[in-house]
Homo-oligomer: A and B are copies of this chain.
């Protein structure tokens, strides 16, 4: 998505269907607002691609901060009833082999601006994988919940968490986070290194705002080169992105998985229900 010179600022202050944006001093505040509960679905994926298309060509956006308009949910997980649809949307982002949400997240990791996620509600499954794809993550002490429920549903964290968690927290803790499928609170996420830092709500935004402003004010060539070199050392080989994405697609069609998803749907999955709010507990009760 390109647009004539001089229109960038206006473009950036308009909103997408599911993401509200506001550009202030080089920092694009991008608030995910996809009712009812911010599921990762085709409209959100389409908007994320549009946002990346625009920020990759708009030098005025130096930092993107992702927040949520929903007090309970950052990104709860993918829409498990529309996997084919959002995957097809994700496939419109990249090259001929980039046909997965994991490949789109890889593009997010390599985005031109610096990306920061502020975790103020639940980020689970591919929602947690969105966090890891960003350059940095800061969590609310009171409200952050991070988890990988996939294995409890019989599926596979196919959009990056296997790769990111091994590198961030080591083999043993990656095993526990993914195989245990339990929710982490902000304090635990900080302790093991899943997020950069966890702060009380009353300090969180000011902290991120200050950090984002610093980075937005530094010379861009240095910022971009550092990001590229850290990514070169810290991101997994692309082949692993594709392999993991394939395993998710296979297991999501497995009868063991569809049966468990069906059981959870009956208990309120994908609604603002106790099941969705306490998904880590719910997958352990199946």
Which residues on A are within 8 Å of B, measured CB to CB?
114, 132, 134-137, 150-157, 162-176, 178-182, 192-193, 195-196, 211, 214-215, 217-219, 221-223, 225-227, 229-236, 240, 243-244, 247, 251, 254, 256-257, 260, 283-284, 286
A213 smallest CB distance to B (angstroms) = 8
Instruction: Closest B residue to A137 by CB, please name it.
Output: B172
In the complex, which residues of chain B have a beta carbon less than 8 angstroms from the beta carbon of A193?
169-170, 173, 192
Instruction: Closest B residue to A171 by CB, please name it.
Output: B234
Contact between B181 and A196, CB atoms less than 8 A apart: no
Contact between A217 and B114, CB atoms less than 8 A apart: no
In the complex, which residues of chain B have a beta carbon less than 8 angstroms from the beta carbon of A182?
211, 214
Contact between B176 and A211, CB atoms less than 8 A apart: yes
In the complex, which residues of chain B have a beta carbon less than 8 angstroms from the beta carbon of A233?
162-163, 166-167, 236, 240
Given known contacts A136-B175, A162-B229, A240-B233, A214 and B180 CB-to-CB distance under 8 angstroms? yes
Number of copies of this chain that the complex holds: 3
Partner of A179, one of B164, B168, B171, B226: B226
Contact between B221 and A180, CB atoms less than 8 A apart: no
In the complex, which residues of chain B have a beta carbon less than 8 angstroms from the beta carbon of A175?
114, 135-136, 226-227, 230
Contact between A257 and B226, CB atoms less than 8 A apart: no
Contact between B234 and A174, CB atoms less than 8 A apart: yes
Partner of A221, one of B176, B196, B254: B254
Interface centre among A163, A180, A229 (most CB of B within 10 A): A229
Inter-chain CA distance A211–B176, complex, in Å, is 8
* 15 extra interface residue pairs, beta carbon distance < 8 Å, beyond A136-B172, A219-B260: A114-B179, A135-B175, A151-B215, A154-B222, A156-B222, A164-B171, A167-B170, A172-B196, A175-B226, A179-B218, A192-B193, A222-B251, A229-B244, A229-B247, A232-B240
Contact between A225 and B156, CB atoms less than 8 A apart: yes
8 example contacts (A-B, Cβ-Cβ < 8 A) are as follows: A134-B172, A151-B219, A151-B222, A152-B218, A154-B219, A167-B233, A175-B226, A221-B256
Contact between B196 and A152, CB atoms less than 8 A apart: no
Inter-chain CA distance A176–B168, complex, in Å, is 14
Interface centre among A150, A193, A235 (most CB of B within 10 A): A193
In the complex, which residues of chain B have a beta carbon less than 8 angstroms from the beta carbon of A165?
230
Pairs A-B, 4 closest by C-beta atoms: A171-B234, A154-B219, A219-B256, A166-B233
Given known contacts A162-B233, A229-B162, A223 and B170 CB-to-CB distance under 8 angstroms? no
Instruction: Closest B residue to A114 by CB, please name it.
Output: B179
A284 smallest CB distance to B (angstroms) = 5
Partner of A219, one of B114, B164, B230, B254: B254
